[in-house]
Chain A
Amino acid sequence: MSTLNSKIPPGPLAEKWSYYKEHAKLVNPANKRKLEVIVVGTGLAGASAAATLAELGYQVKAFCFQDSPRRAHSIAAQGGINAAKNYKNDGDSVYRLFYDTIKGGDFRAREGNVYRLADVSRNIIDQCVAQGVPFARDYGGLLDNRSFGGAQVSRTFYARGQTGQQLLLGAYGALERQVGLGNVKMYSRHEMLELVKIDGKARGIIAKNLVTGELERHFGHAVLLCTGGYGNVFFLSTNAMGSNVTAAWKAHKQGAYFGNPCYTQIHPTCIPVTGDYQSKLTLMSESLRNDGRVWVPKTKEDAKAIREGKKKPEDIKEEDRDYYLERKYPSFGNLCPRDIASRAAKEACDDGRGIVPSGFGVFLDFGDAIKRLGVEVVKARYGELFPMYQNITNEDPLKTPMKIYPAVHYTMGGLWVDYELMTSIPGCYALGEANFSDHGANRLGASALMQGLADGYFVIPYTIGNYLSSEIFTKSIPTDHPAFAEAENAVKERTQKLLSIKGKRTVDDFHKALGKIMWEYCGMARTAEGLTKARKMIQDLRKEFWSDVNVPGTINEFNPELDKAGRVADFIELGELMVVDALNRNESCGGHFRVEYQDQGEAKRDDENYRYVAAWEFKGVDADPVLHKEDLVYENIQLQVRSYK
């Protein structure tokens, strides 16, 4: 049954990538011109891949659902990007970045992939600086760094609180340069709605022109899915409103295995939920934990008084405050990894010590940093973040502590890929957050930007040649091929079904209902009982959706409600798979916390039985998915209990 071959190259860890590059097959320049590559999504992974492949000479078609490739949600990443440059001379190295990432991921990621990521991280910074990305610099004109969670060195490069924006605009510039040169054809306001397979290989996509509603057929010798994560399955998350799983899910239904879907990251520092009308949650960068101290009152009485507005944070004396992260994890303190910080916040609030009216919020206090450094230094360090917080909450974090609570932020799970980033469908690749590969069960801060750009700039340009070298005799397949017609018909039928139901509930009604189930039962704490219940609830919700959803308008027009309906339908199916995966994994690791498996609140892994990647095969909407296991082999590091104490 199992065809899972991770294709990790032989040799010592530090030489695997060199070995691969030296032995991978190449495509000569004349042949590259004849090969067409489809790139779906134009975030860090997609834009960098599309630009780089076009520079190499391939014919590239790039797709994004936004009005411009520059809008992809990578743009919202705030804090920074890790790289093992060791410019600070503080003991960093490729090995340390590799080790921190594996450990941060709670020993659930592949050694070979992560080492490669750490290795190419240095090239990323060089490339971005050459593009004119305005990273922060010190007075000597050299690049500045700061610290991020889960590391004891300063290896994070940043551009104020807008690092993602600047890196994406760099990649976008590179992409537009290739558009201008005629090497990339860009399709904005287009959404991929089906993967086309011919003789078992990915050969193209069906894309919808979101302005006219027309379905288009596009051929490619290979298809790259750079479509981001699926955090919006929770409805409320820090993702953009349009972020969705649809492209990846279509590939999954066509045979691409889905890896570790239950590994989701709940980010500890977001602005707490205030009302039902809320459409999204806003992240406050983890970099704030460099200078902010997290606390709640020691007593429930004080917390209650704050919730009711009878006391202010400054009324709570120093000795009556519980700086719980510093207390529980003295060696990492406020900079412990995200999953740990999130769970600790939940624990404090479940204990009745939350400080916002809903009970779900804790303080992030800059008082000490302001005393130590002065207001101006603190303000300069975090750029936009303070005004942004003040604008949303109407409170000035320089005068009173920020209020924060964990929110869904990132998904470590995604399409299963091998070392070459190829999914289990030949010719179909997944890059960036859309794949499952490098972060294990928990991603460290400032590593998402690193992975997206590593995949796009430095990995796929090498690995795709190894596949395309055997495709040089494949001529472009005309899109009147029956496989294209069949795929287009399937999309048409599904769309017509959505529009014909004309039920009573809106698409958002269903999305919110799904989000509540996911947050309650598949969020920060999961139990077998809750997950079993959740699966039934999601199945019922799916049936209700397909009999009672109300989608206005028609196919042949600009119809955002229809587009949303298709995405929510896919989220419902994905939600069930996440629950199945969480139920299967009888251990706690990283972001996956099963209440039954803990050691006084700390995640308790079961390496003997669960040291594997769970790759799920789709068998039909009403059928149980089939589990394929990829054993994780650790040759260079010793598994241990992850401790930040």
Chain B
Amino acid sequence: MKFNLKVWRQKNAKDQGKLVDYTIDNINADMSFLEMVDVLNDELVRKGEDPIAFDHDCREGICGMCSMYISGRAHGPQHAATTCQLYMRSFKDGDTIYVEPWRAKAFPVIKDLVTDRSAFDRIIAAGGFVSVNTGQAQDANALPVEKADAEKAMDAAACIGCGACVAACPNGAAMLFVSAKISQLALFPQGQPERNTRAINMVNQMDEEGFGNCTNIGACEAECPKEIKLTNIARMNRDYLAASLISE
């Protein structure tokens, strides 16, 4: 297969950046998108040019590191898949493919397709946990959890923190990400003592980082590689409102 690529090249955070054209030939349909970029980079290095910088690690769709905005869609055209799990058979021979980094105020570009997503870590640090020190736990079966709740919590916990929701959202909102963690912990008895402070602190941190707000567009849910549901945002809003009402 042959492709025309238009790839975002930006030397560093201060550089303006621009789309650069590349053509690539002899691509196998069973290659992943990242392997296709590997082949292109190999060619660039052999020609003495600067290879395209991109984030990637596990290449099995779970670490959340890969993050390409492909022809107008976060992680490309395949539903419920990360960039590393996108295969070239999803494209037609001769296609022109645009490759860009996540675009959001809170995710500044580091180089080419690599962005700084440390804002997510800071949101988790603001409250995305249960405050239990090692060694304080009671027996694991002492607190039964209704299976349906455990399943819902697991659905939310499947979030890989890639940031596709933010990239897909016209408002650059991170509410799907934040609400997934808030929901997971709110559905468990272990999460109750800090439920109110957690909602307030995480949402405040989210605002501070410069993420936008939710206007119920639903692009985040549509593009999420792990199919995290909008219901989580509803749960978060409920918790946030309740917590705001009772806080001093």
Contact = CB atoms under 8 A, between A and B. Distances in A.
A162 B145 contact: no
Interface stretch (B69-77, B123-131, B164-172, B214-222): B123-131
A87 B141 contact: yes
A274 B137 contact: no
B62 interface: yes
B229 interface: no
Nearest to B52: A560
B63 A137 contact: no
A143 B185 contact: no
Nearest to B157: A134
Contacts of B154: 134, 136, 159-160, 166
Contacts of A180: 125-126
Interface in A167-189: 169, 172-174, 176-177, 179-180, 186, 188
B248 interface: no
Interface string B123-156: 0111011111111111111011111001001100
A388 B61 contact: yes
B51 A277 contact: no
Interface in A123-139: 123, 125-132, 134-139
A508 B144 CA distance: 50
Nearest to A239: B58
A414 interface: no
A141 interface: yes
A478 interface: no
Interface string A137-169: 111111100000000000000011010011001
Given A129-B137, A159-B154, A277-B35, A173 B128 contact: yes
Most chain A CB within a 10 A radius of its CB, from B35, B46, B111, B158? B158
A506 B65 contact: no
A623 interface: no
B39 A277 contact: yes
Given A240-B58, A241-B56, A277-B28, A131 B42 contact: no
B116 to A, nearest CB: 7
B137 A162 contact: no
B58 A76 contact: yes
Nearest to A461: B134
Interface stretch (B81-89, B92-100, B231-239): B81-89
B121 A176 contact: yes
Interface string A485-528: 00000000000000000000010100000000000000000000
B30 interface: yes
B75 to A, nearest CB: 12
A159 B157 CA distance: 10
B23 interface: no
B114 interface: yes
B59 interface: yes
A586 interface: no
A130 B110 contact: no
A142 B144 contact: yes
B50 A553 contact: yes
Given A70-B64, A132-B130, A141-B144, A558 B110 contact: yes
A242 interface: yes
Contacts of A602: none
Interface in A409-447: none
B12 interface: yes
Contacts of A186: 121
B121 A173 contact: no
A558 to B, nearest CB: 4
B208 interface: no
B248 to A, nearest CB: 22
A241 B63 CA distance: 11
Nearest to A65: B57
Contacts of A561: 45, 51
B121 A282 contact: no
A391 interface: yes
B120 A68 contact: yes
B134 A52 contact: yes
Contact of B65 (A71, A280, A557): A71
8 contacts: A55-B134, A129-B143, A160-B154, A173-B124, A177-B131, A461-B134, A506-B42, A552-B45
Given A180-B125, A241-B58, A506-B45, 7 more contacts: A48-B134, A87-B141, A165-B158, A173-B130, A176-B121, A188-B118, A552-B50
Sorted nearest first, the 5 A-B pairs with minimum C-beta distance are A141-B144, A173-B129, A180-B125, A130-B137, A126-B137
